[in-house]
Amino acid sequence: MDQMKRSSKTKSLVGGFLKNECGQIGIMFALLIIPIVLFLGATIDFSFRQLKENKLQQSVDVALLAALKADTPEIRLANKKEKEKIREKIFRDVFAMNFKNENPISFKFKFKKTSMAVDLKTSVDTMFLNILSMNKLDVTVTSETSFNPGAGLEIVLIFDATGSMRGIISNVKRNAINFTDDLISNLKGKGVDIDNIETKVISYKDYWVDSDPMLESKFYSLPKENKEFSNFINPITAGGGGDLPESALEAIVLAMNSKSSKSKTGVTPNKLIVLWTDIEAIPLADERRSTLQNGLLESANIRWASWYPWYSRSAPNYPSGMPRSLNEMKGLWDKDIKAELLLFYGNGWGGVNFYPWKQMKKWPRTTHIIGNPNSINYSSLIDKISNTISKMTSLRVSH
């Protein structure tokens, strides 16, 4: 009997405990659900804010590009302050077409010689955080659009001066006196206004065969020094070269390393390297044997290796500091981010597979034009150079 009473009492105590535990869990869940809901709600609100910010940034970038690229008669005739007011209006008009916001937006504009910046502030309404009296979330966007910075433009014209290149050399010499005037005129037609171009000429042959393998001018300020530029080019004649591959890679490296004395200290100028050739280049030091042995040269054959002076011996006047492989040269090119390479090379002898032009197709900031470099139309040449310069000096956006 006593045992039954004790058992009944135990069940009653356990039941009471269980009821009490369920009550505690219910209270704990109720307390926890509030921060969970707030956390999820805050996540949604901040996600919505981020979407708004992204859309806002895109709209600001588009409006800035439109404002700075605008080139109307009204802008050309306006003074500095008037131009800024006109560009502000263009910005606001284009921005309003691309972005609608229920909350006020404040703009703060900053102008420099070749750039326009805007700081924008607004807010977005919250859906969940208003429980905590956070009715709005601030959104701030900063954007600046500018021309590609640098100390003007440097052009290095490189051409293969061996016998087979008589056509292109004659073409360059014939048009040298008008080259810069024609180029500047073409650029203005594309909306690019450049008054001065520092221009250098490099003609190359073969370090292993020729006594004058590399002819290098100073940088000429064109069109001011057109006469001196023409006087340097006119004596150049096509000839020599020995076997078919020539010292083109060394010429490109010299162009990469060259800098006008008029360039601003500490500022890397925009540089366009233009090269004409109708044949392959001699491989760099560590790859001369392997390139020939692996059949990468269209114009050379391992069976005749003993005939190629660059295969078996060093050149007496070879420049110091040259990269020893194409990969090492690419490493230097990758660091020179403000340089562009425009390559014209022949389609004879299987030109599409010419070494190293085929391998360099994968390099950034290079344009390959395959055809007969001796017969390229002069106006077409100017237009292709102009298109590349236009791309180099295009507007860029930074946040």
Task: Please tell me the predicted confidence (pLDDT) of residue 18.
Answer: 47
Task: Please tell me the predicted confidence (pLDDT) of residue 65.
Answer: 80
CATH code (residue 354): 3.40.50.410
140: Cβ contacts below 8 Å, ≥ 6 apart: 119, 120, 121
Q: Which residues pair with 106 in a beta bridge?
A: 121
Q: Are residues 31 and 85 in the same domain?
A: yes
Q: Are residues 71 and 181 in the same domain?
A: no
Starting at the earlier edge strand, list the strands of the sheet with 136-147: 106-112, 115-125, 136-147, 395-398
| Total domains present in the chain | 2
Q: Are residues 83 and 169 in the same domain?
A: no
Q: Are residues 279 and 248 in the same domain?
A: yes
**What's the burial of 88, exposed, middle or buried (CB within 10 Å: 0-12/13-18/19+)?**
middle
Alpha-carbon gap, residue 73 to 80, rounded angstroms:
14
Percentage of the chain beyond pLDDT 70 is 76
Q: Are residues 138 and 161 in the same domain?
A: no
Q: Are residues 130 and 187 in the same domain?
A: no
Q: Are residues 217 and 256 in the same domain?
A: yes
Tell me the residue range of the domain where 55 lies. Answer: 2-146
67: Cβ contacts below 8 Å, ≥ 6 apart: 87, 88, 90, 91, 94, 116, 145
Task: Please tell me the predicted confidence (pLDDT) of residue 92.
Answer: 92
Q: Are residues 112 and 204 in the same domain?
A: no
The domain boundary residue, chosen from 86, 119, 146 = 146
The domain boundary residue, chosen from 111, 146, 181 = 146
Task: Please tell me the predicted confidence (pLDDT) of residue 255.
Answer: 94
Task: Please tell me the predicted confidence (pLDDT) of residue 201.
Answer: 92
Alpha-carbon gap, residue 219 to 156, rounded angstroms:
8
Q: Are residues 139 and 199 in the same domain?
A: no
Q: Are residues 47 and 128 in the same domain?
A: yes
Q: Are residues 234 and 309 in the same domain?
A: yes
- Closest by CA position to 275, among listed 186, 181, 394, 356: 356
Task: Please tell me the predicted confidence (pLDDT) of residue 149.
Answer: 44
Task: Please tell me the predicted confidence (pLDDT) of residue 351.
Answer: 65
Q: Are residues 122 and 201 in the same domain?
A: no
Asked whether the beta carbons of 278 and 346 are under 8 A apart, the reply is: yes
- Closest by CA position to 40, among listed 52, 29, 32: 32
The domain boundary residue, chosen from 88, 119, 146 = 146
Query: Which portions of the chain are predicted below pLDDT 70?
Result: 1-32, 34, 37, 71, 146-152, 172, 176, 191, 195, 240-243, 263-268, 300-307, 311, 346-351, 372-376, 393-399
